[in-house]
Structure 1
Amino acid sequence: MRFNKLDLNLLVVLNALLTECNISRAAEKIYLSQSATSSALARLRDYFNDELLVSSGRQLVLTPRAKELVEPVREVLMRIDSTIATQPQFDPATETRTFTILVSDYTMAVLVPPLLEALYRQAPGVRVSLRHQYDRQPADVLEQGDADFLVIPSQYLAKEHPSAVLFEEDYLCVTWEGHSRIQDKLTFDDYLSCGHVIPTFASANPLPTLDGWFIESYDVKRRVEVTAPTMTGLPSLVVGTDRIATVHRRIALRAQEALPIRVWEPPPRIPRLVQSLQWHRHRNNDPAIRWLRDLFVDVARGV
């Protein structure tokens, strides 16, 4: 189909190229061969009378014209997907749609199991693709249409997209039960004197961490001795040491059932975590998105 002499199928290729800045990755994303994607790029260059992507060393970079096209092309495709391509009705009992959800390991441990159980009962044909949320900024994932839902703390929500509160969480400190110094009470001085085990997540644009908040609030820095790419695994990493970890309450209490650890109320006051669900504004009227949103909220009440 053509509109003003532009083959509209090329918009999908253009969006992939503008997002990936790499012909091979773009081809893989839209299930085309590399030669077909290169051919489509040539046609796009001819239509826009612009190179769109040019070599810079070993990389391809966007031309100024291509940068201007990023948001409009993405917006057009999202609107098509959320209006024309969306089914007007959703029957969970017969649906076979796949939902992509970005989650943390904390969400995987606390919320995902009861959600999958509810889905299995109510929508047995629905498939779920769970993806790690730390690879990119959450808002970018929504804007690029690479996920149906994000499950993230409320402070990281994108203002331009709708969201719903799921549940609240607070923190506990965890130490080995054989800790040589902390026996009856955890003081603020104890907290600072211990080596800390903290989560770190590889990302080109990492989200703020508890450490950043801690420094701003108390003008002190924790002595970090161990970093790990997980929150749920931190309690096991203090066992046999005089280190301490600060983790979500639900994670700490579950770990206490299986590990030789003790849990403590943190001596510094730490704001409660508000875990939220977010989806793209153009999918707000998608009946499938609305149904799964409501199921999320319902399941979260039990958490």
Structure 2
Amino acid sequence: MKNADLNLLVHFDALMTTRSVSRAAAQMGISQPAMSAALSRLRRMFNDPLFVREGGAWLPTVRAQELGQSFRPLLDRWRSESQPKDEFDPRTAHRVLSLYASDYLQFAVMPKFIAELAKAAPGLSIRIFPAKLFHGLSMVETNHVELVVGHFPHPVPSLRARFLFEERSVCIVRTGHPCLKQNWGLDTFLAYPHADLAAHTRNFSQQIDDALAAMNRTRKIGTTLASYLACPFVVGASDLIATLPFSVANAFQKISRTTLLEVPLALPMFNVSLYWHERHQDDRAHAWVRQLIGSMFSPTEIN
């Protein structure tokens, strides 16, 4: 790499974290043409395209991933050493942090957290990004958001996590559903169409289908919803059956006119954690917010 410009390392890192020329430019405070020019120089320097467009997104090549792993320790050390060493004071700090969560987890986490945040750090605020199908940890990997609350069975190594809580699943049916006159069990559970939840990553619904597949059974999907909180009301007005986290089913039982039933399947507990990227590990404001969220939950089931 004759006459290599080390400034390009920062450009490369921005491209790796955002997977977007325009977002990388915004992150660095430069124009998009300037970032495009930097990418062209990086491609010539390493004789590799580094990023290729696939399905509307820019994905790193194998060579780019290798370079990212090699450069990451250097970049992390530089950020750590160059950060101001002043103590963080939540009473005087001003900052907006971005967080990604489904409507269920906004319901389960945000009310108490926002109240505590307003008292302890009035200058800090949280911007919530709603969940989209098949998104999740990629939002924090690509620096679209700084924090993610969710259930992810297989997080990538570049992310940190803090366990928040776990809760059980329950079935709900409308009060007066014909299944309530039958013996409740797996056969009755499968005799009626289901409301499936495709919100966020579909990890919650997938565990139901995986448990059924292990018994060579399937359920009929009558409708697919993107909202946990809408589900009780859809079920309350139909003959659909749904499986939900207990906290949601219990909170909306009366006003949705639904009845709770045990799930006739051996489902694992639904674990919820807070996730962030390694790049934010030593950020004092970030760490304080993570600690505040974590302190509100004990490692017990919500029931």
Unaligned runs of 5+ in 2: none
Verify the 8 A CA contact 2:17 2:141 in the aligned structure 1. no
The aligned counterpart of 1:200 is 198
Code of the residue aligned with 1:35 in structure 2: it is P
Aligned to 1:267: 264
CA distance in 1, matches of 2:141, 2:79: 13
CA contact (8 A) 1:86 1:286 kept: no
Tell me what 2:170 maps to: 172
Change (3 A) 1:51 1:273: closer
- Give 1:254's aligned amino acid: A
C-alpha separation in 1, matches of 2:55 and 2:287? 46
Query: TM-score normalised to the size of structure 2?
Result: 0.80
Distance 1:6 1:121, change over 3 A: farther
Per the TM alignment, residue 134 of structure 1 is displaced from its structure 2 partner at its CA by 4.9
Note if contact 1:137-1:207 (Cα within 8 Å) is conserved in structure 2.
no
Which has the higher mean CA deviation after the structures are superposed, 240-249 or 62-71?
A: 62-71
Q: Which residue of 2 aligns with 1:293?
A: 290
Match of 2:184 in 1: 186
Cα offsets for 1:161-195 (capped at 9, x unmatched):
54332222111111111323324763222111010
Q: Within the alignment, does 1:210 sit opposite 2:207 as a pair? A: yes
Q: Report the secondary structure of 1:112's partner residue.
A: helix
Counterparts of 1:133-282 in structure 2 under 5 Å? Answer: 134=132, 138-153=136-151, 155-158=153-156, 161-183=159-181, 186-201=184-199, 209-281=206-278
What is the distance in 2 between the residues matched to 1:179 and 1:133?
Answer: 31
- 1:26-46 deviation line (CA, Å, top 9, x unaligned): 445544323222232344345
Shift of 1:243: 1.0
Contact 1:137–1:206 under 8 Å retained in 2: no
For residues 36-84 of structure 1, the C-alpha deviation after alignment (integer angstroms, 9 at most, x for no partner) is 2223234434544555457899987756643432333455444433442
Q: Does 1:119 align with 2:117?
A: yes
1:153: Cα distance to partner?
2.6
Give the fraction of aligned pairs with identical amino acids, expressed as a percent.
28
- Aligned to 1:300, the other structure's residue is in SS state coil
Bigger CA drift: 190-199 or 162-171? 162-171
Moved more, 153-162 or 100-109: 153-162
Note if contact 1:182-1:190 (Cα within 8 Å) is conserved in structure 2. no
The one-letter code matched in structure 1 to 2:276 is W
Report how far residue 231 of structure 1 moved.
1.9
What does the per-residue CA deviation read over 1:141-171, in whole Å, with 9 as the maximum and x for residues that have no partner? Answer: 4444444333223634446654332222111
For residues 84-117 of structure 1, what are the alpha-carbon distances to aligned partners after superposition, in whole Å with 9 as ceiling and x for unaligned? 2365421110111332223222110111111011
The answer on whether the counterparts of 1:88 and 1:286 sit within 8 Å (CA) in structure 2 is: no
- With normalisation by structure 1, the TM-score equals 0.80
Change (3 A) 1:167 1:53: closer
- Paired position in structure 1 for 2:36: 38
Residue aligned with 1:166, SS: strand
RMSD of aligned C-alpha atoms?
3.6
